[in-house]
Structure 1
Amino acid sequence: MNSLTHPKTHTRFPILGLKLVSSLSVAENPSILHDKNEQKLSPLDPIQLFNHWNNSRDCSARDTKIFHAHFLKTKIFHSNAFVANSLVAAYCKYAHMIYALKLFDKIPHPNIVSWNVMITGFNQNSLFEDSWRAFCRMRSFGFEPNEFTYGSVLSACSALQFPFCGKLVYSLVVKNGFFSNGYVRSGMIDLFAKYCCFEDALRVFYDVSCENVVCWNAIISGAVKNGENWVALNLFRQMCGRFLLPNSFTFPSILTACAALEELDLGKGVQGWVIKRGARGDVFVGTAIVDMYAKCGEMDEAVKEFFRMPVFNVVSWTAMISGFVQNDDFISVLQFFKEMIKLREVINNYTVTSVLTACADPAMVKEAIQIQCWIFKTGFYSDSAVKASLMNMYSKIGEIDLSEMVFKETEDFQDVGIWAVMISAFAQNRNSEKAIDMFQRMLQEGLKPNKFCSSSVLSIVDSLDFSRQIHCYTLKVGLAFDVSVGNSLSTMYSKCGRLVESYEVFQQIVEKDNVSCASMISGFAEHGHTDQAFQLFRDMLFEETVPDDMTLTAVLAACSAIRSLNSGKEVHAYAFRGGIVKKVLVCGALVNMYSKCGALDTARRVFDMMPVKDKVSCSSLVSGYAQNECIEEAVRLFLEMQMADLEVDSFTLSSILGAVSQLNGPGIGTQLHAHVIKTSLESEVSVGSSLLRMYSKCGSIDDCRKAFLQIKKPDLISWTAMISSYAQHGKGAEALRLYELMRESGTEPDSVTFVGVLSACSHSGLIEEGYFHLKSMVKDYGIEPGYRHYACMVDLLGRSGRLKEAERFIKNMPIKPDSLVWGTLLAACKMHGDIELGRLAAQKVLEFEPYDVGAYVSLSNMCADVGQWEEVLKIRHVMDGTGARKDPGWSTV
């Protein structure tokens, strides 16, 4: 009631403009409102006046107290339950719960409405424990709850995360026959969906045939929150099939499900429903539409829908910014953020963390510093989530020192999440020492590292003993069976060569995901157990687990490892049928698989059909061309990458350098070297090793040495390549000196390194050094010599003319000599003209390889050199009888 109007003069007398005491006076003594014609207003009902006043915007807690005093004075409070309940509700409305509770206790005869008012009031003021106690107290006094009571107390159980109490309440609901009430069922569905099993929520929903849209909204929302997006869409179809009209509460949940599943066409259909139902102006529905388009990668449509919204809020702005981040459009992120600041829109920590994610790029260091200054200025720096994002941003742009600075300025060191971000930052920057140190500091300070801390440390630790200690810790605190920790443990054991333990950990993971399977498949493939990799993939399909692009990439890597073209084609067909073949990751793996299997035409077709070509797929194809000696195609594709402004990484350059090294000419290789210097990749170990091998094959040992010296941190492969290059060019002394430098650097040699070392001894005639290094293999490094090592020793003795010693060496070998060893002795015999021993060596070679033309030719030439022409004819006759044919020589001169 906003005014009192005189029936004749229409003089307005605004009640809300008077003091409340005056209004009550008018109500009790209406004669004061007489006009000049002595006509009276009809008496006012104080209760009606209170209700109007309580529902008005200008009412306050003070006014409620004045009404309270009036009702006590007139004794209406003790005689009218409606007035008492209304006063209690008013106090609850203004958060005066102490007054409300005292007043409630003074109600002479409280009824079920009184109890409902108190329980609802506690809920409104987030006093959920008091709400639960009030319900228990009401039951102890013998009051029977109604649907409003049950609905309110179920809301309290949901807020308190008390699913057990909720089940007790629901048992009363079923017992007392309220289970079909929509208000009660929606509360129970919401509770089960949040804190119990979603299947229980579905069971409650399907207990009774429901035509209540609120219940449908509750179960659909619960499905989305539990990640059951297909179930949510199916429920939506059922709802529409029953001719129940969705509303503005239904649409956001369904659109969220479409966004999560990237079901763009279905999302557009739901948008049609939104337009038809006239819900387009709802800010939550509009935001859900924007978010759906953004997550499906349709940013142009997202922008259109955003600007069609009549009202923007921080959620809609943040949805747009997150969409741009997801699509790597960092420029648009900053433009929208600047527009928010310009329009003075509300900005929350989710918005800031999204912007910081966009700035986590080395090319955006300047913008990152500006954003941090703005964060300082606006006070967001005290927010733990923002600090965590700042630390993560700095670690990704390589400024790990700044991440540490932000961490040290954290006030709450009891926040495990901040520690987890810092450990992850060290892990991302391959700083295992600091990551481990921080993990140990957490334990020393009484903090319990969570699954993120454990996973990050396990991802970088290469010590099996320390990793097992972390494994023990995760078992002790119950983290070992978490899927992320289990994945990290399985991967760690696989990297350490403990495949059996890796598989044991994998089997112990209760809820395996695609990451678990992909990691295990990769582990099997890397260690040569491709059969187990394929079997695990089959088990996934049998269990109806849908593989994602990571899993298919791992399986294709297994196909590449064993060069199984047929298996690769089967996986390709599966990916095509499942619609995953368009994923860039899968396309790159397919290109790599076909390249490794020699099917270069198919690899090129897959590459040409890729919607977006990335450096991985380009590098794989370049490598495939190089390995199959298609040098022209490799160079042409490399030039196409340059013209398309695709980033050329060290792997691509290594592949193309390996291809051009087969040309035995430095022309193209020198140009590529210039490009390497231009891109500052000459210090990369893979590129430097490829350069020195290329120059070595071209005979330019000086350039080879320069390329080696440019490598920042030589690894075993680069050391070995340089040693072998020196050996091949007759620089045995330099090769042995380099070997000693390698040992001093802490790099341990392998069997291939010793082949280079022994070859250097052979080319330089260093017999004693050769024997020393052959013994050192077993004594110092536990490496058993192989055929190539023994062949090098035979070559060393043979070049020095010590043929009898070479023969004795062969006879005393711990392994049976093969054609390589005897062939080396045969070459030495030809060099020194020892026909008898040469005949023996040739006979041994032909026992292993009856069609070896080289053995026949070498023996024939030896006989010809000493004039034994009859022997030459015999050897040629035997050679013709075996069908062996010598290819004619040719020259380009």
Structure 2
Amino acid sequence: MYGRCGGISEARSVFDSIAPKDQFSWNLMLGVYARQGHLDEARSVFDAMPERDIASWNCLISALSRSGRLEECKELFTSMPDRNAKSLFFTMPDKDLVAWNAMLSGYAHDGDLEELDHLFSLMPLWNTVSWTALLVAYAQRGYVEKANALFHEMPSWDLVCNNAMLNSYGENGHLEKAILFFQGMKQRDLSSWNSMLSAYAQEGLMIQAGNLLESMPEQDLLSCNLMLSAHNRARQLAEAKKIFDKMPYQNLYSWNNILCAYAQHEDVSRTKNLFDAMPSRDLTSWNIMLSIFCATFELEKTKALFDSMPELNVVSETSMLTAYASFGHLEEAKSLFDGIRDKDRIAWNAMLSAFAQSGYLESARNLFDEMPDRDNVSWNALLSAYAQNGDLETAKEILYAMPEREPASWNSMLCAYVRKGHLEDSRKIFDAMPEQDVVSWTALVALYSHKEQKFADAFEQFGRIGLEGGSPDLDCFTCILNGSSHAGDPELGRSYFCSMSADFGLQPNKLHHGCMIDLLARSGHLGAAQELISTMPFLPDAHDWTCFMTACKKHRDLDAAAGAAQLALKNEARDAGPYVLLANIFRGDSKPTVESWISTVPAEFAAGDPSAQHDSTSYSCLAG
């Protein structure tokens, strides 16, 4: 009664005195505020209601709609339980365009495109809001062509729908269309520029993104964060730092991005300093720090950080699980895994990989069978476990049981056969692969390179990589250089070595130089091998000296062997290995020849320095 007569204060007093309040009382008070236009008070009552029925929702949404508070109206529609939203909407006596659009937006948010289309078809009329809601719903789910068709059906366009279409192209990887659309826009706002910036950044075109950022009439926090995130994904720490330092202010998203950039470069000290300097942190910040500790610190420090975290989630627990596993603490890893409440697929796969990589095949298989759902990572982990442990029959059964076989799956099986030296089975797997990548080709080249009668096949397979549209990588060149060495073909080896940088832009590493030293020395080009040892941008190691001195023995060049031993001692001053090898080379030669080199032995080896790395026979071998 008080409410109908406009006495809001009196109505409220009566309402407050009711104990307990039933649904009717709550709806009555809500209606009093709604009818009188006191919408903030109405919303307060609505939020305080212990439960709501259709009348509650209808009352507030209608009041908000009449007063033009459309965003709140839309938000309420979106948050309603589906059954209530549908019941309310279709029982509303007066459904204006605002109500229709609010309902449309609710369906768009839920992603039910079939229901969305049906509702759109029932609408008595549409405006740009209606069309844009439909367009965005399709675009967000990757149906760009459908979104484009809707856009061209629209009777008119405004900046909001233009931005929606631009964003649709950009987010779904249609960069060229996004560029043309952006260039054709007669009007742009900051949202337009940010959408275009995001499109460039998503494709990794950092130069174009940077140029666009500089040409923007204005920038906001989103603009800077887009560039910061893009540099982070591209692992461009210096550029990310420049963006971060130039920002007028940073939010938590900005701080987490720059923290992640440092963590990816495993710069522990600076990452920790940055973490300590953060004005605020969230769980993401802590998880980033935990990830770098897992990768670079000993287990105790990682566990200490984990224990100090104010909260944990499945990401934190999975990181710690992986750390335990990498240090061989499988019992602790399994105990932590068992305690994770909401295990996601990543946690299951982490535990499965831990068992697989440690060779616990039965535990891996049991866990695999327990998994609520599996993906290719799960199947590949199990396949790899059996393949790496030599159970090729079981691995092959798993391969052909997989619902989807990707290149990594085939490569695991192929590499397992290659490690066993099974030429025929390796070739069958290779030929059965739907497509081969550089890993597949490298495995085959490696196999042929170690088969004495198959060197020509190794060279042929290497040549086919380019013909098939591939490009050999550093590992592949290591294999073909080894094959050249075993085949005793220094000229071919030289051509492959030079081709790395000249034809493929690859910088030969220490391993490739070692292969060339072995190749040249083995084929009798001792001078060239010694020159390469002296001029390469790496310190020669024990393997290089062993290859060279063994070749000296083979080709009876004792002077070169002795000179190499002296050089080796300069680099590895506390290692008697070169002299032991030299003694073996001289064994059987005349005593004066051997004795002429005894004077080159450092004093600590003769005096029995306990810190020198040699055994008790080293000097006596040299002395004959």
Asked if TM exceeds 0.5, the reply is yes
Q: How does 1:682-831 map to 2 (within 5 A)?
A: 682-683=405-406, 685-701=407-423, 704=426, 720-721=442-443, 723-728=445-450, 731-743=454-466, 749-803=472-526, 805-813=528-536, 815-828=538-551
Aligned partner of 1:460: which letter? Q
In the TM superposition, residue 350 of structure 1 has moved relative to its aligned partner by: 4.1
Counterparts of 1:380 and 1:569, CA distance in 2: 63
Q: How does 1:650-661 map to 2 (within 5 A)?
A: 650=377, 652-661=378-387
Paired position in structure 1 for 2:199: 457
Paired position in structure 2 for 1:356: 108
In the TM superposition, residue 410 of structure 1 has moved relative to its aligned partner by: 3.7
- State whether residues 514 and 550 of structure 1, in contact with CA within 8 Å, keep that contact through their aligned partners in structure 2: no
- Alignment counterpart, residue 435 of structure 1, candidates 146, 151, 175: 175
Moved more, 726-735 or 405-414: 726-735
Counterparts of 1:553 and 1:245, CA distance in 2: 51
Counterparts of 1:311 and 1:338, CA distance in 2: 14
- State whether residues 665 and 698 of structure 1, in contact with CA within 8 Å, keep that contact through their aligned partners in structure 2: no
In the TM superposition, residue 486 of structure 1 has moved relative to its aligned partner by: 1.0
Counterparts of 1:427 and 1:278, CA distance in 2: 51
Counterparts of 1:712 and 1:282, CA distance in 2: 69
In the TM superposition, residue 788 of structure 1 has moved relative to its aligned partner by: 0.9
* Secondary structure, aligned partner of 1:437: helix
- State whether residues 591 and 607 of structure 1, in contact with CA within 8 Å, keep that contact through their aligned partners in structure 2: yes
Superposed CA deviations along residues 425-478 of structure 1, whole A, max 9, x for unmatched, are: 44554x2xx22431342233323263441353143132332122222233xx21
Paired position in structure 2 for 1:669: 395
Q: Are positions 1:502 and 2:240 aligned together? A: yes
- Alignment counterpart, residue 318 of structure 2, candidates 568, 588, 591: 588
Counterparts of 1:717 and 1:420, CA distance in 2: 43
Moved more, 276-285 or 692-701: 276-285
Distance 1:803 1:561, change over 3 A: same
Q: Are positions 1:378 and 2:122 aligned together? A: yes
Distance 1:342 1:461, change over 3 A: same
- State whether residues 128 and 158 of structure 2, in contact with CA within 8 Å, keep that contact through their aligned partners in structure 1: no
Counterparts of 1:246 and 1:770, CA distance in 2: 97
In the TM superposition, residue 567 of structure 1 has moved relative to its aligned partner by: 5.0
- State whether residues 723 and 735 of structure 1, in contact with CA within 8 Å, keep that contact through their aligned partners in structure 2: yes
Distance 1:311 1:811, change over 3 A: closer
Distance 1:655 1:388, change over 3 A: farther
Counterparts of 2:565 and 2:332, CA distance in 1: 45
Superposed CA deviations along residues 512-563 of structure 1, whole A, max 9, x for unmatched, are: 22221221111112233332222221111xx2x1x22332232223223324
Superposed CA deviations along residues 183-216 of structure 1, whole A, max 9, x for unmatched, are: xxxxxxxxxxxxxxxxxxxxxxxxxxxxxx9xxx
Counterparts of 2:136 and 2:615, CA distance in 1: 67
Distance 1:387 1:709, change over 3 A: farther
* Secondary structure, aligned partner of 1:631: coil
Q: Name structure 1 gaps, 5 residues minimum.
A: 1-54, 58-212, 214-243, 249-271, 291-303, 325-331, 360-366, 887-893
- State whether residues 388 and 418 of structure 1, in contact with CA within 8 Å, keep that contact through their aligned partners in structure 2: yes
Q: Are positions 1:466 and 2:208 aligned together? A: yes
Q: How does 1:478-489 map to 2 (within 5 A)?
A: 478-479=218-219, 482-489=220-227
Q: Are positions 1:313 and 2:58 aligned together? A: yes
Higher relative contact order (CA 8 A, sep 6+): 2
Q: How does 1:460-609 map to 2 (within 5 A)?
A: 460-474=202-216, 477-479=217-219, 482-540=220-278, 543=279, 545=280, 547-575=281-309, 577=310, 580-581=311-312, 583-596=313-326, 600-609=330-339
Q: Are positions 1:679 and 2:403 aligned together? A: yes
* Secondary structure, aligned partner of 2:226: helix
In the TM superposition, residue 808 of structure 1 has moved relative to its aligned partner by: 4.6
Aligned partner of 2:283: which letter? D
- Alignment counterpart, residue 645 of structure 1, candidates 353, 372, 385: 372
- State whether residues 588 and 620 of structure 1, in contact with CA within 8 Å, keep that contact through their aligned partners in structure 2: yes
Paired position in structure 1 for 2:65: none
Counterparts of 1:621 and 1:752, CA distance in 2: 29
Q: Name structure 2 gaps, 5 residues minimum.
A: 31-42, 62-72, 617-624
In the TM superposition, residue 637 of structure 1 has moved relative to its aligned partner by: 4.3
Distance 1:336 1:535, change over 3 A: same
Q: How does 1:8-87 map to 2 (within 5 A)?
A: none
Paired position in structure 1 for 2:184: 444
Distance 1:499 1:814, change over 3 A: closer
Counterparts of 1:710 and 1:391, CA distance in 2: 44
Q: How does 1:267-416 map to 2 (within 5 A)?
A: 279=26, 284=43, 288=47, 305-306=51-52, 311-313=56-58, 348-359=100-111, 368=113, 370-379=114-123, 382=126, 384=128, 387-388=131-132, 390-395=134-139, 397-415=141-159
- State whether residues 287 and 319 of structure 1, in contact with CA within 8 Å, keep that contact through their aligned partners in structure 2: no
- State whether residues 352 and 367 of structure 2, in contact with CA within 8 Å, keep that contact through their aligned partners in structure 1: no
Counterparts of 1:841 and 1:522, CA distance in 2: 47
Superposed CA deviations along residues 471-506 of structure 1, whole A, max 9, x for unmatched, are: 2233xx212xx2222111112234445422211211
Counterparts of 2:442 and 2:161, CA distance in 1: 44
- State whether residues 353 and 385 of structure 1, in contact with CA within 8 Å, keep that contact through their aligned partners in structure 2: no
- State whether residues 533 and 555 of structure 1, in contact with CA within 8 Å, keep that contact through their aligned partners in structure 2: yes
- State whether residues 666 and 698 of structure 1, in contact with CA within 8 Å, keep that contact through their aligned partners in structure 2: no
In the TM superposition, residue 411 of structure 1 has moved relative to its aligned partner by: 3.8
In the TM superposition, residue 696 of structure 1 has moved relative to its aligned partner by: 2.4
Superposed CA deviations along residues 230-284 of structure 1, whole A, max 9, x for unmatched, are: xxxxxxxxxxxxxx99999xxxxxxxxxxxxxxxxxxxxxxx9998996476565
Aligned partner of 2:205: which letter? S
Superposed CA deviations along residues 608-667 of structure 1, whole A, max 9, x for unmatched, are: 2221111222333344455xx41216x6346424423223233x4444444444313413
Q: Are positions 1:636 and 2:363 aligned together? A: yes
Count of residue pairs brought into register by the alignment: 566
Superposed CA deviations along residues 139-175 of structure 1, whole A, max 9, x for unmatched, are: xxxxxxxxxxxxxxxxxxxxxxxxxxxxxxxxxxxxx
Aligned partner of 2:209: which letter? S
In the TM superposition, residue 376 of structure 1 has moved relative to its aligned partner by: 3.7
Counterparts of 1:246 and 1:767, CA distance in 2: 102
- State whether residues 615 and 649 of structure 1, in contact with CA within 8 Å, keep that contact through their aligned partners in structure 2: no
- State whether residues 136 and 147 of structure 2, in contact with CA within 8 Å, keep that contact through their aligned partners in structure 1: yes
Q: Are positions 1:612 and 2:338 aligned together? A: no
- State whether residues 448 and 457 of structure 2, in contact with CA within 8 Å, keep that contact through their aligned partners in structure 1: yes
Aligned partner of 1:442: which letter? F
Counterparts of 1:380 and 1:742, CA distance in 2: 62
- State whether residues 27 and 55 of structure 2, in contact with CA within 8 Å, keep that contact through their aligned partners in structure 1: no
- State whether residues 794 and 821 of structure 1, in contact with CA within 8 Å, keep that contact through their aligned partners in structure 2: yes
In the TM superposition, residue 388 of structure 1 has moved relative to its aligned partner by: 4.8
Aligned partner of 2:486: which letter? H
Distance 1:789 1:285, change over 3 A: same
Counterparts of 2:304 and 2:164, CA distance in 1: 41
Counterparts of 1:828 and 1:845, CA distance in 2: 15
Paired position in structure 2 for 1:139: none
- State whether residues 414 and 447 of structure 1, in contact with CA within 8 Å, keep that contact through their aligned partners in structure 2: no
Moved more, 877-886 or 482-491: 877-886
Superposed CA deviations along residues 13-54 of structure 1, whole A, max 9, x for unmatched, are: xxxxxxxxxxxxxxxxxxxxxxxxxxxxxxxxxxxxxxxxxx
In the TM superposition, residue 771 of structure 1 has moved relative to its aligned partner by: 0.7
In the TM superposition, residue 714 of structure 1 has moved relative to its aligned partner by: 5.9
Q: How does 1:204-243 map to 2 (within 5 A)?
A: none
* Secondary structure, aligned partner of 2:360: helix
* Secondary structure, aligned partner of 2:262: helix
Distance 1:850 1:551, change over 3 A: same
Counterparts of 2:371 and 2:244, CA distance in 1: 42
- State whether residues 417 and 426 of structure 2, in contact with CA within 8 Å, keep that contact through their aligned partners in structure 1: yes
Aligned partner of 2:420: which letter? C
Counterparts of 1:320 and 1:647, CA distance in 2: 37
* Secondary structure, aligned partner of 2:285: helix
